[in-house]
Every structure is written in C-alpha cells, then in structure tokens.
C-alpha cells in the first residue's frame, strides 16, 4: 500500500476519533487503542527536553478506561463545546507492521457567551498497527505548543 493511500486511512481514523470526542461519545475513545495502547499529553518544552512527564499519562487499556471513566464523572461547571481540526498528516515510515505518523491538531473550545478560541494546538506523534484489518493506536503522544488555561478538566485531544 502506497504512502498516500495510507495517509488517507490515517485521516479517516483521526476524523472518526475526533468526532467521537467532539460529540461527547467518550466511551468510544479507548476503542481507538490497542490493548497495550499508550497515550500521553505533554508540552513541547518537555518533549524537546526528552521528559516523559505530562498532563495525562496512560499505559494500557486499564489506564485508558480509568481515564475516561474519571472524565465522565467529573463535574463540569460550565457547558462548553469542543471541536478538533486535524491536518498536515504525514506518514513517516512503516516497519515491522508499525506505521509511524504525525498530524497537527487544534482543539477549539466554545464556552457559552464567548467566542470560539484555540484551547490547544500541537501535534500527534503516533504509532499505528492493524488489528483485524483496522487501524489502532499503539501509541499517541500529544505534544502541545499551547499553555492549557484550565487544568481542572483534562479532556483527551
């Protein structure tokens, strides 16, 4: 399979992933990962320094499920809308069944009575594998440029 075709598949994956989050179908989120899936949100500053510490750190399905469960039960005091804009998807290489890829993302947030703003911009550094013919995330490292203004609620990006 060519690189452009593979990019198309990854884009399809990312757009479905984003739609689940933007529409609040949070329980779908872990299904985008493999059983040993890794997920992390950390700042570009830390990533550049090789530091693994992040806002969110999940290793394996149990932690991914825990994360989303905590989020579902978090009280949100102000209603808000999220919307992902994902672009610039690049296939970096395929080796031993692992597809390395990067994409740029923006997470837009709209609070009632406020203008839409960029809550977070950054890049996904991803490793995909195919499970039963479908792409799954073996690893998604979300590296954000932005300072996150509210840390009470860490929504997946």
Q: Where on the chain is the footprint of its own copies (CB under 8 A)? A: 3-5, 7-9, 11-12, 14-16, 18-19, 22, 44, 81, 83-90, 102, 104, 106, 108, 110, 112-118, 120-123, 145-147, 149
- Nearer Cβ to its own copies (34/146): 146
- Nearer Cβ to its own copies (12/35): 12
Burial class (CB in 10 A: 0-12, 13-18, 19+), 117: exposed
> Least distance from C-beta 106 to its own copies, angstroms?
6
91 contacts: CB under 8 Å, gap ≥ 6: 3, 6, 7, 10, 99, 100, 101
- Nearer Cβ to its own copies (70/118): 118
């Amino acid at each position: 399979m060519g690189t452009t075709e593979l990019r198309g598949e990854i884009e399809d994956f990312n757009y479905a992933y984003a739609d689940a989050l933007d529409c609040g179908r949070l329980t779908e989120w872990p299904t985008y990962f493999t059983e040993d899936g890794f997920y992390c949100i950390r700042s570009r500053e830390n990533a550049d320094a090789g530091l693994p510490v992040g806002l969110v750190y999940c290793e394996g399905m149990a932690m991914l499920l825990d994360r989303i469960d905590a989020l579902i039960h978090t009280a949100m005091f102000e209603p808000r809308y999220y919307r992902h804009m994902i672009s610039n998807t690049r296939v970096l290489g395929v080796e031993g069944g692992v597809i390395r890829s990067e994409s740029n993302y923006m997470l837009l947030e709209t609070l009632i009575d406020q203008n839409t703003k960029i809550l977070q911009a950054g890049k996904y550094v991803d490793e995909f594998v195919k499970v039963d013919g479908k792409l799954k995330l073996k690893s998604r490292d979300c590296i954000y440029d932005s300072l996150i203004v509210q840390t009470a609620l860490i929504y997946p990006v």
